[in-house]
Copies of this chain bind each other. A is one copy, B any other.
Amino acid sequence: MLSQKAKYALKALLYLAQQEDTHVSRTLEIADAASIPKKFLEQILLDLKRGHFVGSKQGKLGGYYLLKSKNEITLADIHRLFDGAIALLPCASLNFYERCSDCTDESTCALRHGLIVIREETLKAMQGITIASLIHR
Cα of A10 to Cα of B125 in the assembled complex, Å? 25
Also in contact, A113 and B134, with CB within 8 A (given A35-B102, A102-B35): yes
B122 lies within 8 A of A89 (CB): no
A129 lies within 8 A of B114 (CB): yes
Q: How many copies does the complex hold?
A: 2
B118 lies within 8 A of A75 (CB): yes
Distance between A119 CB and nearest chain B CB, rounded to angstroms: 9
B134 lies within 8 A of A125 (CB): no
Bin the interface of chain A by size: 35 or more
Task: Flag the segment in A22-30, A41-49, A56-64, A80-88 that touches B.
Answer: A80-88
- In this assembly, does A39 line the interface, its C-beta being within 8 Å of a C-beta of chain B? no
A110 lies within 8 A of B129 (CB): no
Please encode chain A, from 103 to 137, with 1 for each CB lying within 8 Å of some chain B CB and 0 for all others: 01000001101100110011011101100011101
- In this assembly, does A66 line the interface, its C-beta being within 8 Å of a C-beta of chain B? no
A134 lies within 8 A of B114 (CB): yes
Distance between A29 CB and nearest chain B CB, rounded to angstroms: 17
CB-based nearest B residue for A8:
B102
7 A-B pairs besides A14-B110, A110-B135, A117-B129 with CB distance below 8 A are: A10-B111, A14-B111, A113-B134, A114-B129, A118-B125, A118-B126, A122-B122
